């Protein structure tokens, strides 16, 4: 027999036999009957509405966070492209363990001169600058990109890194943001469509 409401919704004859949903377990008090209707993703719709919304929100947060990080990396790359590198003298070097990991990060006390946007040269003495995985020696020199408005947080050129960190991070974060955004959009549209179909078939 045909399902009249479902046939009207789909625009073509739809048999009631198509409404059968396969189960991995028998119906019991522990495993209640599945809530399912035609066109729905069975695995996803068997979850509670709260869990569905949670997955959508997590995907949205991941997408927005990745976009913010990508924007930060892009801004840094543009700033580095327009600034002139200078050589900084290393006064002191030490290492600190990265948070939630065993990787050692290098830090240094640097002295350098930077040029402001008005052309004036300013002497900078920064007690702590993160060098990342790049080691340094006391009395040696590192190449940095100082900021035009401040001596703090200069961008250190990683000469021993395997790949250009900003561009690789930018590409990776854009991919993560795009995939998370598509997942969030797909799941949102799926839930809205299934809610609409459920209301039509149950009416």
pLDDT per residue as tens digits for the range 87-131? 999 999 999 887 776 778 899 999 999 988 788 899 999 999 988
| More confident call, 191 vs 175 | 175
| More confident call, 10 vs 75 | 75
Decide if 174 contacts 168 (C-beta within 8 A): no
Tokens 């590198």, located at residue? 85
Edge-first strand listing for the sheet containing 121-132: 121-132, 104-115, 86-97, 141-145, 155-156
What are 153's two structure tokens? 């947080």
Residue ranges of the domains in the chain? 4-59+186-202, 86-156
pLDDT per residue as tens digits for the range 154-186? 888 776 554 444 444 678 888 889 999 998 898
The C-alpha angle 22, 24, 26, rounded to 5 degrees, equals: 95
Decide if 100 contacts 129 (C-beta within 8 A): no
Question: Beta strand 141-145 with 121-132: parallel, antiparallel or unpaired?
Answer: unpaired
At residue 19, the pLDDT reads: 53
pTM over 0.95: no
pLDDT per residue as tens digits for the range 69-82? 888 878 877 777 77
């Amino acid at each position: 027999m045909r399902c009249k409401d479902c046939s009207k919704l789909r625009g073509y004859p739809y048999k009631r036999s198509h409404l059968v949903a396969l189960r991995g377990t028998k119906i019991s008090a522990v495993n209640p009957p599945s809530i399912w209707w035609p066109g729905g993703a069975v695995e996803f719709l068997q979850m509670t509405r709260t869990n569905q919304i949670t997955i959508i929100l997590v995907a949205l947060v991941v997408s927005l966070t990745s976009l913010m990080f990508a924007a930060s990396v892009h801004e840094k790359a543009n700033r580095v492209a327009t600034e002139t590198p200078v050589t900084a003298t290393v006064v002191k070097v030490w290492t600190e363990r990265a948070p939630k990991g065993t990787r050692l990060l290098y830090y240094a006390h640097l002295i350098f001169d930077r040029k402001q946007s008005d052309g004036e040269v300013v002497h900078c003495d920064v007690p702590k600058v993160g060098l990342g995985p790049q080691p340094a020696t006391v009395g040696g020199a590192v190449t940095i990109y100082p900021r035009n408005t401040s001596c703090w947080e200069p961008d250190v050129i990683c000469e021993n890194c395997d790949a250009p960190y900003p561009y690789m991070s930018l590409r990776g974060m854009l991919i993560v943001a795009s995939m998370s955004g598509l997942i969030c959009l797909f799941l949102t549209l799926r839930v809205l469509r299934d809610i609409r179909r459920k209301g039509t078939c149950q009416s």
